[in-house]
Amino acid sequence: MSTVSNLAPIHRAQPRRAHPRAALSRLPPIGLALAVGVLVLALLLAVAPSLFTGHSAVAGVAGQQLKAPSLVHWLGTDELGRDVFARIVHGARYSLSGAVIAVGIGLGLGTLIGLLAGAVGGRTDAVLMRLVDVMLAIPTLLLSLAFIVILGFGHAQVAAAVGITSIASFARLVRSEVMSVRRSDYVEAAFGSGGTFAAVLWRHVLPNSMTTVLAYAALQLGWAILQISALGFLGYGAPPPTPEWGLMIAEGRNYMARAWWLTVFPGLATVVVVLAANRVGRALARGSR
């Protein structure tokens, strides 16, 4: 008699499909994606403003003074007949370039001071950190004005002054990171294997200390844009007719009752870019921890 097999049928393992929610969870948050998009757009405005507008940022048109927003002039015109949208587009170059210069100065000199203080220690650390404490004790806007008086007025001078005021915060952060990395086992092993002081700092200490510092630099970008705009509003930045956002806000405040768009739109541009830079900086800071 034939026997009936009771073996259960063999089923091949089917590949599991990724759940749509799991795929969405790997995407960046909507707020972060919007912030990155805003910064990319601002960068494009600064690099290639002619792609976004054909109007001049400095030449006015007779008979077009203080025109309200329309299809011809999307954000209206100012008291000289200049297109406000064109001035905001061209002004991105000054605001972003000034912020990059300021952050570069603060990052470069602050890293040098913090690295020296954290690696050498002793009296060198004490002297440098006391100087840093003095700079941190003075309000940044007041300190920037003091350096502008020394350096002179202008866009580059304002960027340099804002950068100098940020040196102290970068130096303290770099010192903290360097002191933490300096006590690591692999650094001690590098010294024990015959590595020189400068070589170990350059190859091991500095690279492993910069992750948090670079994230902080991204966060400082928004702060630098705000500082440069504030100094431009006070009249210490680029001179007229430069389309700098802070200067545009200052020029438009005299026409608030008749032409609100002269102040509102440059102010919105400044706020949106600063918030976007801060959002990206916070995301980088969380990722570096």
CA 147 vs CA 170, 231, 287: distances in Å:
18, 12, 35
C-alpha to C-alpha distance for 141 and 148, rounded to whole angstroms? 10
Domain boundaries, the chain: 73-287
Place of tokens 């609100």: 260
For 78-87, how does the pLDDT look when each residue is reduced to its tens digit (9 = 90+)?
Answer: 999 999 999 9
Please give the mean pLDDT across all residues of the chain: 86
For 175-199, how does the pLDDT look when each residue is reduced to its tens digit (9 = 90+)?
Answer: 999 988 887 777 778 777 777 778 8
For 8-62, how does the pLDDT look when each residue is reduced to its tens digit (9 = 90+)?
Answer: 444 454 555 544 444 444 556 888 899 999 999 999 999 999 999 989 999 888 8
Q: What is the pLDDT of residue 284?
A: 84
For 232-289, how does the pLDDT look when each residue is reduced to its tens digit (9 = 90+)?
Answer: 999 898 888 899 999 999 999 989 889 999 999 999 999 999 999 999 988 888 876 6
Q: What is the pLDDT of residue 249?
A: 94
C-alpha to C-alpha distance for 171 and 118, rounded to whole angstroms? 9
Model confidence, pTM: 0.84
Give the helix/strand (H/E) hosting 211: helix 206-233
125 and 178 in contact (C-beta within 8 Å)? Answer: no
Higher pLDDT, 249 or 7: 249
C-alpha to C-alpha distance for 95 and 180, rounded to whole angstroms? 35
C-alpha to C-alpha distance for 67 and 171, rounded to whole angstroms? 49
- Here the tokens at position 263 are 């102040």
**Mean pLDDT within 139-147:** 91
CA 50 to chain centre: 24
Give the confidence band of 105 by pLDDT, cuts at 50, 70, 90. very high
Please list, residue by residue across 157-168, b when 16 or more beta carbons sit within 10 angstroms of its beta carbon and e when fewer do. bbbbbbbbbbbb
Give the confidence band of 205 by pLDDT, cuts at 50, 70, 90. confident
Q: What is the pLDDT of residue 289?
A: 64
Residue 227, number of CB atoms within 10 A of its CB: 25
Q: What is the pLDDT of residue 167?
A: 95
C-alpha to C-alpha distance for 260 and 284, rounded to whole angstroms? 36
Q: What is the pLDDT of residue 201?
A: 81
Q: What is the pLDDT of residue 5?
A: 45
Q: What is the pLDDT of residue 16?
A: 53
In 3-state terms, what secondary structure has residue 121? coil
C-alpha to C-alpha distance for 107 and 23, rounded to whole angstroms? 37
Q: What is the pLDDT of residue 19?
A: 47
Nearest residue to 18 (alpha-carbon basis) of 27, 10, 9: 27
C-alpha to C-alpha distance for 100 and 46, rounded to whole angstroms? 12
117 and 128 in contact (C-beta within 8 Å)? Answer: yes
Place of tokens 């405005």: 45
Domain 73-287 listed as CATH 1.10.540.10: no
Q: What is the pLDDT of residue 17?
A: 53
- Numbers of helices and strands, H then E, in the chain: 12, 0
